[in-house]
Structure 1
Amino acid sequence: MPDQPPVYTPGFTPGSICKAPPAGGSYGTPVADGAGFKYDEATLHELADEWIDLAKEYRADLVDAEFIAKVEPPGQEFASGDNALVTRRSGQALVDALNQRITYCNNMAAKYVAALGKYASADEQAKTVINQQPKGIA
């Protein structure tokens, strides 16, 4: 068992030749004063993008799942009809599950976008405070 806790590295799969590890970023640095994590702005952007991309992948899968949910029997005999019915039910369950996953991914992306808004608000507030300070050496 490793001595260090696992660290989330967005966009990187160890052993993958497709993606290189991202440069920099604080991925899940524990917050000293309580529960939760803090992320830098670049990490928030990357996490939001990853959730959006995952939702897009689920939407692409949804197109194929809808074909399964609308399958027609290959013949007019009893066995084909029953098989098509079972396949349609399975396809509909897949459609429902993918829709739930898409909603979840979109909600997660929205949370990171909201956190980015807090960054912008905090930066703007800090700029206002600095601009109210007297100029020059007193």
Structure 2
Amino acid sequence: MPEGQPTYDPGMRWNDSMGLRPSGGSYGAPVAEGAGFKYDEATLHELVKDWVDLAKEYVADRNEAELIAIAMPPGREYASGGNAEVTRESGKALLVTLDERIAYCERMADKYRAALGKYATAEDGATSAINQQPKGLV
């Protein structure tokens, strides 16, 4: 595993072994200048899917983290009770963090869906403009 802070690499699938297998996505491949889009339509669809998939992974993690937030002490002595209390507090903090990450991923997917809508509108406008041109040689 590389040293340093982990960074999101959209070309990686983190469910694969240590996220080392590239997905083969285009992610920002150059597109023709024009309507101001950095990504082509296929890449936008891929980005939506990746953000939705990442949100689903966080939801699955959250479901498991709920068990940490309700941890019970294994015994009745003071140390067990104190340990369980600290574990529950950690679990609650984890739930808050996962909720924030889920919301962030959902917002990112929504942004790319909105971009897809703008992309489709621009495509329709360009198609309409082309169709209004006179046919044949001028």
The alignment's TM-score, normalised by the length of structure 2, stands at 0.76
Output the CA distance in 1 between the equivalents of 2:89 and 2:24.
42
Report the equivalent of 2:77. Answer: 77
Q: What SS is found at the alignment partner of 1:137?
A: coil
Q: Extract unaligned runs of 5+ from structure 2.
A: 1-8
Q: How does 1:15-94 map to 2 (within 5 A)?
A: 19=21, 22=24, 25=26, 27=28, 29=30, 38-94=38-94
The alignment's TM-score, normalised by the length of structure 1, stands at 0.76
Count of residue pairs brought into register by the alignment:
126
Q: 1:86 to 1:58 in 2, by over 3 A?
A: same
RMSD: 3.2
CA-CA distance at 1:12 after TM superposition? 6.5
CA-CA distance at 1:112 after TM superposition? 1.0
Q: Extract unaligned runs of 5+ from structure 1.
A: 1-7
Give me the identity figure in percent: 53
Does the CA-based 8 Å contact 1:58-1:101 persist in structure 2? yes
> 1:29-83 CA deviation, whole Å, 9 max, x = no partner?
59x8xxx971111111111111111111111111110000011111222221111
